[in-house]
Amino acid sequence: MLKSIANYFEFEKYDTNYKTEIMAGLTTFMTMGYIIAVCPGMLSLTGMDYGAVLVATCIAAAISTLAMGVVAKYPFALAPGVGLVPYFTYSVCLGMGVDWQVALGAVFISGFVFILLTLAKVRSWIFNAIPNSLKYGTAVGIGLFITVIGLTGAGIIVDDPATLVGLGNIKSPSVILALLGLVSIGILTAKRIKGAILFGILITAFLGMLLGVSPYPSGIVSMPPSMIPTFLQMDILGALNMGFVSIIFAFLFVDLFDTIGTLNALSSQAGYLDKEGKLPRVDRALMADSLGTVLGAMLGTSTVTSYVESASGIGVGGRTGFTAVIVALLFLLSTFFFPLVSSIPAYATAPALIFVGSLMILAIKSIDLEDITEALPAFITIVGIPFTYSIANGLALGFISYPIIKVFSGRYREVHPLVYILALLFIIKFAIYGQ
């Protein structure tokens, strides 16, 4: 049995073994396990049941990661994207007043469209059509967006009637704990401790409980909560409303480029790319991602995407899909730790968001800041996302400004026809709905 599994995952070809693959799976899970606490904590603010979302998050992550490991045979793990969870919560549901059922419908549709794009093999055409400045600008903007959410969740920044935002009460125990959590994550990362983000969350939560800022968990292990409150609750017809096209596009856009970018980075690290820089079985990998999004919406969680944290498992030797199988099993086991996870307060998860945001802004180095026709649209996208509190609006402003600046600079030939089409659609959307 063990030999058959080893042969299926080609252990000999990649010079690996069970011990290495299991350790790689544990390492990857430790570095991305924070999403188990972050995702339900935020999505529950929309009215979704916390327990149902937690189980949906773990099962969606487990099944999509298992598909990645068994079908695509890569050591890449998937889970609800940390960049799209806050967009779902704060921009779509709380910001626009959209019911969470409709938002899930938009996620479902975006996943279904992703499946069609994968089957039609047009993903590379779309990827190449979008300017690099907007791709990287979107990553930076989402990083800042996540950071703002983390800062407000921790109480570090607060509403201010005069200046819109202001500094919170630094003497507040929760603020102090959040700052200590952020520092601890930074120190653990600097020391190359695997699972630094997860450990940072746990350290912060434990200190808060020890100091009486938040209560201790009611238990450690229990049967998983029911998913009935969120299972098959997505409103697909409601999401097909013309006003929600930009929302669906935002989910699709971020998932598409985040997935392709992550797969390229991880494949390069693991040595999977061929001489032409292409990834074998890429369609299978993309299909696992898109099916994960559709499944996640059906279960009751936001867009599922590939995690760059998989690099940690690859770094300790994980080379086959068996690494992903281990990650999937650990996500399933996590559903039995609901009492522990549900006791983690917002000030403990906030440092994770801030830290991830700090990592995402590194993409700004890839923007051609010397070319104003590239730099300005990227900048508009970057500031548009956090300042309008919407990934969709930031993207729209970037896509509108890019061709306009290029055309009036006499460089219209540098703009792909698809970008002109998207810019026109966004202009029509703003003209009709105003936002």
> What's the pLDDT at 177?
92
> What's the pLDDT at 433?
58
- Report percent pLDDT > 90 for the chain: 10
Question: What's the whole-number mean pLDDT along residues 25-33?
Answer: 76
Burial of 232: CB neighbours in 10 Å, binned 0-12, 13-18, 19+:
exposed
Closest C-alpha to 326, from 75, 4, 72 = 75
Question: What's the whole-number mean pLDDT along residues 324-345?
Answer: 84
The pLDDT tens digits of the residues spanning 88-123 come to: 888 788 888 888 988 899 889 888 888 888 787 776
> What's the pLDDT at 214?
82
Please give the span between the terminal C-alpha atoms of the chain, in angstroms, as a whole number: 58
Q: Mean pLDDT, the chain, as a whole number? A: 81
Question: What's the whole-number mean pLDDT along residues 18-24?
Answer: 82
**HSE of 390 in the Cβ direction (CA atoms, 13 Å)?**
21
Closest C-alpha to 185, from 150, 220, 148 = 150
The pLDDT tens digits of the residues spanning 123-164 come to: 667 666 778 788 778 778 877 877 887 888 788 888 878 788
> What's the pLDDT at 19?
82
How far apart CA 65 and CA 3 sit, in angstroms, is: 22
Domain count, the chain: 1
CB of 215 within 8 A of CB of 278? Answer: no
CA 184 to chain centre: 22
Strands (E), 253-392: 304-306
- For 358, list phi and psi in degrees, rounded to 5: -65, -30
- Report percent pLDDT > 70 for the chain: 89
Confidence of residue 279 (pLDDT cuts 50, 70, 90): low
> What's the pLDDT at 17?
83
How far apart CA 396 and CA 246 sit, in angstroms, is: 8
> What's the pLDDT at 274?
65
Query: In this predicted model, which residue has the larger pLDDT, 277 or 175?
Result: 175
CB of 76 within 8 A of CB of 306? Answer: yes
Q: Is 209 helix (H, G, I), strand (E, B) or coil?
A: helix
Question: What's the whole-number mean pLDDT along residues 176-201?
Answer: 85
> What's the pLDDT at 183?
92
> What's the pLDDT at 405?
93
> For residue 394, what are the contacts with CB-CB under 8 A and spacing of at least 6?
138, 141, 145, 380, 381, 382, 383, 384, 385, 386, 388
Residue-range definition of the domain harbouring residue 217: 2-433
